[in-house]
Amino acid sequence: MSEAVATKTKLYRQSQQDISLEDALNQVQDLMPGAIALLYSPEACSFGRLESDGRVTICRNGEQGWQEQTLDLSPVFEVRVFNERAELRWLSIPGSKGKAVLISETELGKKFADDTGELSYLKAAEQTYLLWGEPLNKVKQAAPANWSILSAARIGTMPVPIAPGSNNQTIVELRSREYLGEIEPYGNVAVQEERLMNLIWQTKQRESNHE
């Protein structure tokens, strides 16, 4: 479901070539403490949290139940770290440490110096992606603070960095904002950029995409 909203007219963008994921995270840790991380590795696509010291923590189930732990970033080949303020993207590139891109609706100072620019757009639209699964019983999940465990037959269990909702909140949505602009001289409009923003609980399923 999309809903047009009035927003600013610019999206600020910075990027850096040949930068490691660790260095990219350290560059933005003061802007994004506690931000959500969407991580891709050969083993899984999972959620984590960016800590104030630049570490990424995840939630895993072991012999002592669900516990928060620091993630080894070496297998990760793509990351999107986001909050309401900004989004950092990092992608591993063969022959290079990787590329980082930072986007925001407000100027954030000089974090990445290789390329900077401004994207002008006509309007922005809110978008949501429905995450698979419903929360486990709070007694069964026994998750660390500010984590919830979603479960579905097709995915098993999936920890997400969001505090448990109320009893009637049974689905989690990933909110994003799409930026629309003209793509050719004839006035056709298309999505030029998208920024992930946060995770929220909903009390009932709405028409949305799946992530």
**Residues 17, 112 within the same domain:** yes
Model pLDDT for residues 5-28, shown as the tens digit of each residue: 444 468 899 999 999 999 999 999
pLDDT at position 131 over 70: yes
Last residue of a domain, one of 56, 82, 116: 116
Which stretch of 105-109, 163-167, 174-178, 205-209 has the lowest confidence by average pLDDT?
205-209
Model pLDDT for residues 134-143, shown as the tens digit of each residue: 888 655 667 8
End-to-end CA distance of the chain: 14
pLDDT at position 2 over 60: no
- CB burial readout 131-164, b (16+ within 10 A) else e: bbbebbeeeebebeeebbbbbeeeeeebbbbbeb
Beta strand 209-210 with 123-130: parallel, antiparallel or unpaired?
A: parallel
Which stretch of 15-24, 38-47, 94-103, 132-141 has the lowest confidence by average pLDDT?
132-141
Burial degree of 76 (CB within 10 A; 0-12, 13-18, 19+) = buried
In a domain, 2, yes or no: no
Last residue of a domain, one of 81, 96, 116: 116
**Residues 198, 105 within the same domain:** no
**Residues 173, 204 within the same domain:** yes
Query: Which residue range forms the structural domain that includes residue 142?
Result: 124-210
**Residues 99, 138 within the same domain:** no
Q: Quote the pTM value.
A: 0.86
User: Torsions phi, psi of 132, nearest 5?
Assistant: -65, 145
Who's near 17: CB < 8 A, 6+ residues apart?
96, 99, 114
In a domain, 7, yes or no: no
In a domain, 100, yes or no: yes
Percent of the chain predicted with pLDDT > 70: 90
In a domain, 138, yes or no: yes
Q: Return the pLDDT at 15.
A: 96
Last residue of a domain, one of 116, 132, 155: 116
Helix (H, G, I), strand (E, B) or coil at 132: coil
d(CA 93, CA 58): 24
In a domain, 177, yes or no: yes
**Residues 192, 138 within the same domain:** yes
Note whether 110 and 170 are within 8 A (CB).
no
Q: Which residue has the higher pLDDT, 203 or 12?
A: 12
**Residues 141, 68 within the same domain:** no
Round the average pLDDT of the chain to a whole number and report it: 87
**Residues 128, 112 within the same domain:** no
**Residues 68, 91 within the same domain:** yes
**Residues 40, 87 within the same domain:** yes
Give the count of domains, the chain. 2
Note whether 48 and 144 are within 8 A (CB).
no
Note whether 171 and 130 are within 8 A (CB).
yes
In a domain, 156, yes or no: yes
In a domain, 55, yes or no: yes
Count how many residues are written for the chain.
211
In a domain, 129, yes or no: yes
**Residues 103, 177 within the same domain:** no
